[in-house]
Amino acid sequence: MKKILLTGALGQIGSELTGKMREIYGTDNVIATDIRQTDSEVVTAGPFEILDVMDIEAMGNIAKKYNVDTIIHLAALLSATAEAKPLLAWNLNMGGLVNALEVSRELQCQFFTPSSIGAFGPTTPKDCTPQDTIQRPTTMYGVNKVAGELLCDYYYQKFGVDTRGLRFPGLISYVAPPGGGTTDYAVEIYYEAIKNERYTSYIDRGTYMDMMYMPDALNAIIDLMEANPSNLKHRNSFNVTAMSFEPEQIAAEIRKHIPAFEMEYQVDPVRQTIANSWPNSIDPTAASEEWGFKADYDLAKMTTDMLEKLKMKLG
């Protein structure tokens, strides 16, 4: 990775990955793009271009202008939004992906895009979900993710594009909110704990999902992209996770720092149905064995850091 183009750079992952990559690879070598513009550092502190990922010509022109050798394709709708707008999700998630793959094929770029625990479905083994297993998701997001994994494998096998991907769990961060996901409750809960000492969860007690703190997610992307290709038996996409918990467990962890914290439940049937169709916990052994994946943050360490950083952020 020497010249890197990111799509969706103002989203939850891009907002932090852009800065981290600029530190490692040099500011001028990381070109952030998004469909909108803000005054955040992603836009102001290095190269930035407006890009609608549905416009393949514009994507190709930006990639050529900067002579990029790597594309990190992040622009996509998350699960709950995709369920509300399935046709838009299909068009954007698949259209954007195939455009980014085509540009990578033409310019011989290395390629990364995230998949998700959403690529699994109700018939997938629920606990310690293996790397290679049944994938019959019942959400539009899941359909997009499975099709995306297969498409990335196809571009590798057919055209030799160096495609790599991760099946991310819910990502938790204090920098940019996720927006439109099923796992977002695990981010919102920290904001509400600090602001109001209470949170109403739309996910029911007893619902386990995998999660990961953003610093581990960023390291995982960079480590996978830097991994020796001859060590990779899998490519699209690797199971990665750092922890699995249900709402009562994150609430209990927050109470260690904010004893008055209270939790209520008002279950959202749409997001609960999505969560019920996903695994309780996935097995990241293939990622550990093939490129050394390891997460540093468990629930306790993440909660301490989240609360400390959010208190500073929220004043």
Q: Would you please indicate which residues are annotated as catalytic (active-site) residues?
A: 141
User: For residue 93, what are its two tokens?
Assistant: 């998630």
Say how far apart CA 27 and CA 66 lie, in whole Å. Answer: 13
Contact between 182 and ligand AKB by CB under 6 A: the answer reads: yes
Cα 274 versus chain centre, distance: 17
Would residue 180 be called left, alpha or beta, if left means φ above 0 and alpha means ψ between -120 and 50 degrees? left
Least distance in angstroms from the C-beta of 209 to ligand AKB: 7
Binding segment for ligand AKB (CB under 6 A), chosen from 113-121, 156-164, 195-203, 258-266, is 113-121
Sequence-distant (≥ 6) Cβ neighbours of residue 134 within 8 angstroms: 120, 121, 123, 124, 125
Could you say which of 19, 165, 181, 284 contacts ligand AKB (CB under 6 A)?
Answer: 181
Q: Does 14 bind ligand AKB (CB under 6 A)?
A: no
Q: Do 177 and 190 form a contact (C-beta atoms < 8 A)?
A: no
C-beta closer to ligand AKB: residue 181 or 247: 181
Stretch that binds ligand AKB, among 53-61, 96-104, 112-120, 196-204 (CB under 6 A): 112-120
Q: In whole angstroms, how close is the CB of 12 to ligand AKB at the nearest point?
A: 8
Given 8, 14, 121, 170, the residue binding ligand AKB (CB under 6 A): 170
Stretch that binds ligand AKB, among 34-42, 111-119, 220-228, 306-314 (CB under 6 A): 111-119
Q: Does 148 help bind ligand AKB (rule: CB under 6 A)?
A: no
Instruction: Supply the minimum distance, in Å, between the C-beta of residue 289 and ligand AKB.
Output: 23
247 binds ligand AKB (CB under 6 A): no
CA distance 116 to 95: 18
Tell me how far, at minimum, the Cβ of 139 lies from ligand AKB, in Å: 9
Give the residue, chosen from 18, 104, 124, 183, that forms a contact with ligand AKB under the rule CB under 6 A. Answer: 183
215: left (phi over 0), alpha (psi -120 to 50) or beta: alpha
Our CB check for ligand AKB shows the closer of 66 and 90 to be 90
Asked if 56 and 30 count as a contact pair (C-beta separation under 8 A), the reply is no
* Least distance to ligand AKB, CB of residue 280, Å: 13
> Considering only residues 18, 116, 135, 144, which one is a binding residue for ligand AKB as defined by CB under 6 A?
116
φ and ψ at residue 278, rounded to 5 degrees: -95, 160
Task: Tell me the H-state helices in the chain.
Answer: 14-25, 41-44, 56-65, 79-84, 86-89, 95-107, 140-159, 185-196, 214-226, 247-255, 269-277, 285-291, 299-314
What minimum distance in Å lies between the beta carbon of 26 and ligand AKB? 30
Q: Which bin fits 162, alpha (ψ -120 to 50), beta or left (φ > 0)? A: beta
Q: Smaller CB distance to ligand AKB: residue 29 or 124?
A: 124
Helix (H, G, I), strand (E, B) or coil at 27: helix
Choices 43-51, 130-138, 164-172, 239-247 (CB under 6 A): range interacting with ligand AKB: 164-172
Task: Report yes or no: 33 and 10 within 8 Å, Cβ to Cβ.
Answer: no
- The CA–CA distances, whole Å, from 26 to 29, 152, 155 equal 5, 27, 29
* Of positions 33, 40, 79, 201, contacts ligand AKB by CB under 6 A: 79
Q: Is residue 118 a contact residue for ligand AKB (CB under 6 A)?
A: yes
Instruction: Kindly list the residues in this chain that would bind ligand AKB in the complex (CB under 6 A).
Output: 78-79, 116-118, 141, 168-170, 178, 181-183
